[in-house]
Each structure stands twice: as structure tokens, then as C-alpha cells.
Amino acid sequence: MIDIHCHILPGVDDGAGTVEDSIDMAKKAVDEGITTIIATPHHNAHYQNRRLKIENDVEELNKVFQHKGINLQVIPGQEPRINADLLEQLENQEILTLCNQNKYVHIELPSNHIPKYTQSLLYEIQLQGITPIIVHPERNVEIVENPEVLFDFVNEGILTQVTSSSLIGNFGKNIQKFSYQLIEHNLTHFIASDAHNISSRAFHLRAAYEQVEKEFDIKTRYQLQENPILLVNGETIMTNTPAPIKKKRFLGIF
């Protein structure tokens, strides 16, 4: 398995605090069957993790894992918080695309809303030949309340990634249910761990895929599990035609 969203780099954000923490995470990842991790440290107002630093840190961590005999490859990535200057930061190579391929980039939205400039900014990024991947949309309050917003994004070619812990219920039943709806309506394309440690924010990637197979079918699991491989190889992601999530009636009224 490939994990495209993980905070395994030591001492750079709220993920692994030390190299020893990174080693513990790596061992847990291997135990789950994960062979490759895209390291995606936060890049926002609180954590300034620019491209060159991430690339250097990834190189050093791979050396540590090789020395320890841990069979896990780490690839550079980043989790930039959306901001009005993001396009300029991409052009200045401050923002790191996933696997440094200039094909896909993670985009983190604020947890409680979607900035008004989001749609136009994502469109401008697409014009650069880069496909944005909105991470953990199931935990964004505005998207949960108005899922048609996400439908509009996906309908325009934006990709999304749900968190494994959301699918197994670790963020609560409501987020779990909404995550299922995103899969059912073809509004998400990846599952990733967003792991920060081995306790409160662990991987749970294998369990999430098993849950998807149980709730849907093996074909759905296969597609979600295959897409990270396509991403790492710089290939086109498998998608299905998105459908809007209809709000349920209340006393016969939408």
C-alpha cells in the first residue's frame, strides 16, 4: 500500500516529534503493509516547511530507515493551507507538489469554511497543469453542510482524499457516514492516513480499505487502493462521474 498523506518527518510540525518517533511510525506502517509514504508536513501560518527543507529532511529520513533495516520508502510532499498567494508560491517553487512531479498538489482548507477565492484559485492551479487534491474534505464544516460545493469542485476536475480514521469512525459517526457518502457519490479518489503518531492519530489504512470493501465492494476498494500507485507513477487517476449528495427531506421539505 501507498500512503499519500502522512506527517512522518521529525520535528517539523505536529506529527513525529523526534527521529525515534519517525522510526516507530515507520515500523507500524510496515506492519500494516505500507511500502511507500509521501511525507506531507504542514505548510501554513504555524509551520513553515518549504520545498528544499522537505526534500533534505526526506533524504535524511530515508538514510535512517535504510540504516535501521526498515523497508519503507519516503517521498517528498507537502500539505499547504490554501491562501491567496498559493499560486505565486507554486511558481516560486516554495510549494512542493507531490513526489516533486508538478502533477498533483495537496490543498488543505480551513476546518470551518471555504475561502471565497477557492474556486478561482484551484482553476488557476489547473491551468498550470497541476491537479489539486483537497485533503480530508469530510472534516470541513461548510462541505458537510453544503456538499454541493464539493460536487462542483470535483465536477471541474479537482480530486479529493478522505482520511482512513474517518472511515473507521475515529472522528465520530457523522464524519464516518459522510465519508461513505463521498465514496458512494464518486466525490473522493484517495484514502490516506494523515497519520501523526502511533497512538491518537495512527495509520489505520488497512482497516479503512477493509471497511470500504465491506460497505461497498472489492472493485471500489481496488480503485481507491490503486490510485495512490498511479499518483506516485505520475499517471492519470481513475475517476468516476461524480453525483451530488441530496439533502434528506425533513417533514417533506428539503
Strand partners, 43: 80
Mean pLDDT of the 163-179 span: 98
Mean pLDDT of the 91-103 span: 94
Mean pLDDT of the 71-94 span: 96
pLDDT at 225 exceeding the cut of 90 = yes
In the block, residue with C-alpha cell 471565497: 116
Q: Which helix (H) or strand (E) holds 56?
A: helix 51-68
- C-beta of residue 160 within 8 angstroms of C-beta of residue 188: yes
- C-beta of residue 98 within 8 angstroms of C-beta of residue 192: no
- The domain ranges of the chain are 2-232
CA 170 to chain CA centroid, Å, is: 17
pLDDT over 90 percentage in the chain: 96
Model confidence at 3, in pLDDT bands (50, 70, 90)?
very high
Mean pLDDT of the 114-119 span: 97
Mean pLDDT of the 181-186 span: 98
Separation between Cα atoms, residue 208 and residue 70, nearest integer Å? 23
* Identity of the amino acid at 93: Q
**CA angle in degrees (0–180, nearest 5) for 15-19-21:** 50
- C-beta of residue 86 within 8 angstroms of C-beta of residue 119: no
pLDDT at 35 exceeding the cut of 50 = yes
Separation between Cα atoms, residue 227 and residue 74, nearest integer Å? 17
pLDDT at 177 exceeding the cut of 70 = yes
pLDDT over 70 percentage in the chain: 97
pLDDT of residue 246: 86
pLDDT of residue 40: 98
Give me the torsion for CA of 124, 238, 190, 84, rounded to 10°.
0
Separation between Cα atoms, residue 64 and residue 66, nearest integer Å? 5
Per residue in 58-79, pLDDT (tens digit) is: 999 999 999 999 999 999 999 9
pLDDT of residue 248: 60
Query: Looking at domain 2-232, which of 3.40.50.720, 3.20.20.140, 1.10.10.10, 3.30.465.10 is its CATH number?
Result: 3.20.20.140
Mean pLDDT of the 178-207 span: 98
Per residue in 17-32, pLDDT (tens digit) is: 999 999 999 999 999 9
Torsion sign over Cα 241, 136, 202, 12: positive
